[in-house]
Amino acid sequence: MTVLKGGVLPGGLAEAIRATAEDIAAVLRSQGADPGRGGALPVPRSTWTVGEAAAHLAQANALMADLAAGHERPYGDGTPGSLAEANERALAGFDEREPGPLAEMITAQAAAFLDAVEQRDREELLTTPLGRMSPAVLGSYLLTHMLGHGYDLALALGRPHMLDAHRVELSLPFMTHAMPTVTDPEAVAGLTATFAVRLRSGSGFGVTITDGRVRVDHEPPARPDCTILTEPVTFLLLALGRIDPWPAIARGRALGWGRKPWLAPRFPRLFRAP
């Protein structure tokens, strides 16, 4: 297959994937002489331990590398519930829970993804658990997934997390691609509203909900019902369900205004992170 000149992934994405994997590995390796205890620690806001979350990341990175190589890997039907079930089945068949070996797997599979994805055509559509994606969106998916679980691991182990504004910007192609798929049908039932979502770094997008049907646009609408402005890391943590809206609003990290400002704290709950 011909690789288009200049690389398949957009600028900075490959470096962010590699660096995030290394940052997660460093968090896991921080357990030092007592790795077994670290693996057994609970992950906040999750039913998983550190060892289980790290094992999931190792498996997910391997899955992404296979998808980037053009292999189809059935993994649920794209809904959050089916993905959660697929995760549990995969974990049940995978015994490794020690942070050290899992750190090596996470970085090795991220590197395997980068090697495989550069053999694709930029315009090719690859089959994934959340629908067909270009290689660039798949790379954004991998980064977003690592950032969410990497944050969990850092929080559980008392280490600095690896999220920053640049990495959040690189997550946006996947986030906007996935939003219609991960909409919570009950949360949007009967809702009609337009949202302009803006990050303080300058990026933004629009979300239009019409009687529960969701459309995402690359540009915010000119006259939205609700404008949401968030600090970038806060945006990703809200979107992935890692923090709650009201504390973020109280600290000034997320603001909402417009004809229907009361929709701002409701917005993150319209979606279910896979």
Q: What is the domain-level CATH number for residue 253?
A: 3.30.1050.10
Eight-class DSSP state of 271: B
In this predicted model, what pLDDT tens digit does every residue of 160-183 receive, in sequence order? 999 999 999 999 999 999 999 999
Assigned domain for 8 exists: no
Same domain, 168 and 66: yes
Q: Is residue 6 part of a domain?
A: no
Query: Can you tell me the mean pLDDT for 240-260?
Result: 96
Q: What angle do CA 208, 214, 218 make, to 5 degrees?
A: 55
Residues 119 and 148 in one domain: yes
**What range defines the domain where residue 242 resides?**
185-270
Neighbours of 189 (CB within 10 A): 9
Do 76 and 155 have their domain in common?
Answer: yes
Domain count of the fold of the chain = 2
Q: How large a percentage of the chain has pLDDT more than 90?
A: 86
Q: Is a pLDDT exceeding 60 seen at residue 35?
A: no
Specify whether 238 is located in the same domain as 155.
no
pTM equals 0.94
Average pLDDT estimate for 256-260: 97
The pLDDT tens digits for 194-225 are 999 999 988 999 999 999 899 999 999 999 99
32 shares its domain with 97: yes
| 18 and 49 fall within a common domain | yes
- Same-domain check for residues 107 and 85: yes
Question: Is there a domain that residue 57 lies in?
Answer: yes
Shared-domain flag, residues 74 and 127: yes
**Predicted pLDDT at 73:** 87
Output helix, strand, coil percentages for the chain, rounded to the nearest 5: 50, 15, 35
Domain finish residue from 118, 141, 174:
174
Q: Does residue 167 share a domain with residue 192?
A: no
Helical spans, DSSP H, in the chain: 13-29, 35-40, 50-68, 80-92, 99-117, 135-157, 165-178, 185-188, 232-239, 245-250
- CB-based contacts of 171, cutoff 8 Å, min separation 6: 140, 143, 144, 147, 236
Q: What is the pLDDT of residues 106-115, one digit of tens each?
A: 999 999 999 9
